[in-house]
C-alpha cells in the first residue's frame, strides 16, 4: 500500500515540493482526516472542509513564515496547522492540545490569535507597513477573510487604508462561501452574489478573442471591437467595480476547489507587487455529504459526532439558549414593539424561532456589533424595544456604542449575552468573562445574572419592561441546572439557604448567576465548620441592590462568587457600595483573575482558578482565621 501524501508533510516546503498529481490526493486525505478527527473531539468542521484547496495553494505559492499568512477569524486554520507540521489532533481544543485557532505558542507560522471577526485586514495592513519601513520588500502578507467577516465595518476601514498603499505586497483572499455562521446578508452579499453567479472576466474575454478570430482578419475594427468587449464585460459580466473603485486590483472569481486555478490566481497576485483582491468561491463543508446537505449550518462548529451520519454522539439538552429562544417568542406575542437584532448568529443565539414567527421583526446586521448597538438605540427612539442577542465576548466590540449611544441617551435596549463566563474550549478570545466588569461602569445600566430557567424567563420579562435605560441578561454555555427555589425574597434579593446555629460567626455567601450552585455548596461546607451561613442570589446584580448591602452589614463576613473578572467585578462593587454606606463587614470576592486563559474545559478552568466549592470554602476559612 502506497504511503499517504499527508504523512509526508512536515513543513510548507514539503507542500511546495509535491508533484501536481499528488496535490489532489493530499486534499482528499486532509478531508478524510478532518472528518475522522474532528468527529472525535468536536470543533469547526465545515469551515475547514471548505478551504482545503485554498490553503494548499497558499502554501505552494507563498513561503510561510517568511511570508505572513493571517486568517480571519482563525477557525478555518486546521488545514494550515496540518501543512505546518501539526498533525496530532487527538486533543484538539483540549488542555495542552492544539488550539482551535492560530496559536503563536504552537508555531512560528501562526500570527494572529484573536478570533474575533473582521480584524485580519487591519493586521495585514500593519504587517505590510512594517515590512515596507524595514526594507523587507520581497515579503508578502496574505490575509484570508470570509464574505461573512467582510460585513464588519473594521474590515472596510482596513480596505480603505490598504487601497492607499500602491506598492505594498499585500494579498487579500476573499473566501466567499455565502455564509458566516449563517447566510451572509446585506449589500455586500448581493454584490458578491452577482460576481459568483457570472462567468469570469477571463473566460468571457477568451470567448471574445475566439469570436473575433473567426470573424475575419485583424485590424482596427477588430481592435476597437475587442476593446469595447473588454469594457462591456468588465462592467456587466464581472462587476468588481466596488473593489477597483477603491484602487484595488481584483482577480476572480476563482473556483476555490480547483487547486491549480487558485495557484494561478495567487501567483498573479504575488507578481503584481501591490494590494490585490483574490476572490475565491468555496463551499462550506465540501466533500462531507452530511455537511453539504445541511441547510442550517450545523457543521460550522460541532461537538462529538458520528462521522458516517454527522449526528451528535450525545444529543444536546434543552439549555440556556433554548430557554431564551422560547421565552423571547412568548414575549414577542404579547409585545408587538419588541424586535430582535443579531450579528450574523441567528441560529447560535436562539433567535431562529422568533424569526420564523416574526420575520419582519428580526434584523441580522452581519458581523457588526457596533452597528447593532447604535441601530438599536435608534429603534428605541422610534418607539420599539430592541433585544440585541450576541455572545458575551462579542459585546466587547461595541462598548463605546453601549456607553455613548444607548446609555447616554437612556435608550430602552436589552442586551442578551449568551456564553457568558467561562466557555473554555475556544480559548482566550471566546471566554465571556469581561462583560460584568466592563458594563459595571456604564451609568444607569442594569444587569441580571439568572441562576436557572425560571429566573432567566423572569429576567427577560423584567428587562424588556425597562424603557429608560439599557438592560443586560447574561447566561453561561454550561448545561441548565435544576430549578433552585428561593426560601424568601428580601426586597428583590433571593435567600436560597440558611444554615448553622444562632450565635456563631455569620457569613453571607453571594452567588452570581452560574456560580449559585457553587455558592450553595460553599454555604454547606462553611456551616459544617460551625458557621452561621446565609446564601443569597441578587439576580439583578447591577447596580448593587440596596437590600444586598443591608444583608452584608448584618453578617460578620461576606463572600461573593462570580464567573467574571474579580477586579472591578460584582464583588468589588458590593464592597465599594458597603463602604459608601458605612458597612464595616469585610467582603471577600472570588472570580476570574485579570489574565487571558488557555483553552481547556470549563471544569478544568474552574479548578485551576480555585473556584471549586472546596477551594472557596477553604480560602474563606483561612481568611476568617486571620480576622
**Are 38 and 92 contacting, i.e. CB atoms less than 8 angstroms apart?**
yes
Residues 531 and 556: their CA atoms lie apart, in Å, by 10
pTM for the model? 0.80
Q: Does domain 490-625 have CATH number 3.40.50.920?
A: yes
- Does the domain at 320-474 match CATH 3.40.1190.20? Answer given as no
Question: What does residue 488 show for φ and ψ, rounded to 5 degrees?
Answer: -160, 165
Residue with cell 495542552: 96
- Orientation angle between helical segments 201-215 and 220-236, nearest 10 degrees: 160
Q: Cell for 272?
A: 503584481
In this predicted structure, what is the pLDDT of residue 344? 86
Alpha-carbon distance 124 to 126, whole Å?
Answer: 5
- Annotation: binding site: 75, 115-117, 147-149, 177, 288, 369
pLDDT means over runs of 10, the chain (627 residues)? 85 94 93 88 85 94 95 88 90 85 88 83 91 91 88 86 86 81 50 49 44 46 44 41 73 92 95 91 81 66 68 66 96 97 91 96 92 95 97 93 96 96 80 92 98 97 98 92 96 96 91 97 96 97 97 97 96 96 96 89 89 96 88
Q: Which of 591, 623, 607 is nearest to 507 (CA)?
A: 623
The whole-number pLDDT of residue 331 equals 98
Give the cell for residue 617: 470554602
Residue of 259, 327, 369, 453 marked active site: 369
Query: Residue 225: what pLDDT?
Result: 46
Could you tell me which residues are annotated as the binding site for Mg(2+)? 147, 177
Question: Which pLDDT belongs to residue 207?
Answer: 41
Contacts of 181 (CB under 8 A, 6+ apart): 148, 297, 300, 344, 345, 346, 347, 348
397 catalytic per annotation: yes
For the chain, percent helix, then strand, then coil, each to nearest 5?
45, 15, 40
Taking CA 328 as the corner, what is the angle to CA 323 and CA 333, rounded to the nearest 5 degrees?
135
Distance CA 438, CA 440 (A): 6
* Interatomic CA distance for residues 260 and 323, integer angstroms: 48
- Tell me the binding residues for thiamine diphosphate: 75, 115-117, 148-149, 177, 288, 369
Q: Is 369 a catalytic residue?
A: yes
Return the CATH number of the domain spanning residue range 6-198+243-292: 3.40.50.970
pLDDT, residue 240, reads 54
CB neighbour burial string for 359-370, b if at least 16 within 10 angstroms, e if fewer = eebbbbbbbbbb
CB 194 within 8 A of CB 299: no
Catalytic residue among 93, 139, 168, 284: 284
Q: Which helix (H) or strand (E) holds 387?
A: strand 385-391
The secondary structure element, H or E, covering residue 542 is strand 540-542
Q: Angle at the Cα of 359 (from 355 to 363), degrees rounded to 5?
A: 75
Mark out the alpha helices in 352-452 (DSSP H runs). Answer: 352-357, 369-381, 392-395, 399-400, 435-439
Nearest to 56 by CA among 127, 119, 144, 115: 144
**Residue 237, pLDDT score:** 37
Amino acid at each position: 500500500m502506497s504511503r499517504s501524501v499527508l504523512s509526508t508533510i512536515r513543513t510548507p516546503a514539503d507542500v511546495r515540493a509535491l508533484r501536481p498529481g499528488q496535490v489532489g490526493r493530499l486534499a482528499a486525505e486532509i478531508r478524510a482526516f478532518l472528518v475522522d478527527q474532528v468527529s472525535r473531539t468536536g470543533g469547526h468542521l465545515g469551515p475547514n472542509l471548505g478551504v482545503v484547496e485554498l490553503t494548499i495553494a497558499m502554501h505552494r505559492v507563498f513561503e510561510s513564515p517568511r511570508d505572513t499568512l493571517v486568517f480571519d477569524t482563525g477557525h478555518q486554520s486546521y488545514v494550515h496547522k496540518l501543512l505546518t507540521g501539526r498533525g496530532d489532533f487527538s486533543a484538539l481544543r483540549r488542555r495542552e492540545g492544539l488550539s482551535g485557532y492560530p496559536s503563536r505558542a504552537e508555531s512560528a507560522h501562526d500570527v494572529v490569535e484573536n478570533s474575533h471577526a473582521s480584524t485580519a485586514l487591519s493586521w495585514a495592513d500593519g504587517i505590510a507597513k512594517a515590512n515596507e519601513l524595514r526594507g523587507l520588500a520581497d515579503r508578502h502578507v496574505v490575509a484570508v477573510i470570509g464574505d461573512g467577516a467582510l460585513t464588519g465595518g473594521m474590515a472596510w476601514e482596513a480596505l480603505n487604508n490598504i487601497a492607499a498603499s500602491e506598492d505594498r505586497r499585500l494579498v487579500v483572499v476573499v473566501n466567499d462561501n455565502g455564509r458566516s455562521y449563517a447566510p451572509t446578508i446585506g449589500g455586500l452579499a448581493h454584490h458578491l452574489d452577482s460576481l459568483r453567479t457570472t462567468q469570469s472576466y477571463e473566460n468571457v474575454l477568451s470567448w471574445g478573442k475566439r469570436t473575433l478570430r473567426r470573424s475575419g482578419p485583424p485590424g482596427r475594427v477588430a481592435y476597437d471591437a475587442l476593446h469595447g468587449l473588454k469594457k462591456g464585460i468588465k462592467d456587466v459580466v464581472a462587476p468588481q467595480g466596488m473593489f477597483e473603485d477603491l484602487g484595488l486590483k481584483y482577480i476572480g472569481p476563482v473556483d476555490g476547489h480547483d487547486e491549480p486555478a487558485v495557484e494561478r490566481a495567487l501567483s498573479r497576485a504575488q507578481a503584481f507587487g501591490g494590494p490585490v483582491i483574490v476572490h475565491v468561491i468555496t463551499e462550506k463543508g465540501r466533500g462531507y455529504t452530511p455537511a453539504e446537505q445541511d441547510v442550517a449550518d450545523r457543521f460550522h462548529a460541532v461537538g462529538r459526532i458520528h462521522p458516517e451520519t454527522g449526528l451528535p454522539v450525545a444529543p444536546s439538552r434543552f439549555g440556556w439558549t433554548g430557554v431564551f429562544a422560547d421565552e423571547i417568542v412568548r414575549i414577542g406575542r404579547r409585545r408587538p414593539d419588541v424586535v430582535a437584532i443579531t450579528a450574523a448568529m441567528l441560529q447560535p443565539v436562539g433567535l431562529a424561532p422568533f424569526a420564523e414567527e416574526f420575520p419582519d421583526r428580526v434584523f441580522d446586521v452581519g458581523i457588526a456589533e457596533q452597528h447593532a448597538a447604535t441601530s438599536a438605540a435608534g429603534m428605541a427612539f422610534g418607539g420599539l424595544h430592541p433585544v440585541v442577542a450576541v455572545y458575551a465576548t462579542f459585546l466587547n466590540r461595541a462598548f463605546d456604542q453601549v456607553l455613548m449611544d444607548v446609555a447616554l441617551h437612556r435608550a430602552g435596549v436589552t442586551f442578551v449575552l449568551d456564553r457568558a463566563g467561562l466557555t473554555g474550549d475556544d480559548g482566550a478570545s471566546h471566554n465571556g468573562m469581561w462583560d460584568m466588569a466592563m458594563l459595571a461602569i456604564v451609568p444607569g445600566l442594569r444587569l441580571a445574572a439568572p441562576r436557572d430557567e425560571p429566573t432567566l424567563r423572569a429576567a427577560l420579562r423584567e428587562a424588556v419592561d425597562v424603557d429608560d435605560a439599557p438592560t443586560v441578561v447574561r447566561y453561561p454555555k454550561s448545561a441548565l441546572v435544576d430549578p433552585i427555589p428561593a426560601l424568601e425574597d428580601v426586597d428583590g434579593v433571593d435567600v436560597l439557604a440558611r444554615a448553622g446555629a444562632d450565635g456563631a460567626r455569620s457569613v453571607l455567601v453571594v452567588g452570581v448567576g452560574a456560580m449559585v450552585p457553587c455558592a450553595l455548596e460553599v454555604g454547606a461546607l462553611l456551616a459544617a465548620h460551625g458557621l452561621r451561613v446565609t446564601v443569597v442570589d441578587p439576580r439583578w446584580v447591577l447596580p448593587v441592590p440596596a437590600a444586598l448591602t443591608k444583608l452584608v452589614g448584618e453578617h460578620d463576613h461576606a463572600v461573593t462568587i462570580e464567573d467574571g473578572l474579580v477586579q472591578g467585578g460584582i464583588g468589588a462593587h458590593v464592597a465599594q457600595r458597603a463602604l459608601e454606606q458605612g458597612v464595616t463587614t469585610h467582603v471577600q470576592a472570588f472570580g476570574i483573575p485579570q489574565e487571558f486563559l488557555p483553552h481547556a474545559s470549563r471544569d478544568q478552568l474552574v479548578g485551576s482558578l480555585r473556584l471549586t466549592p472546596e477551594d472557596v470554602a477553604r480560602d474563606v476559612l483561612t481568611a476568617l482565621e486571620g480576622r
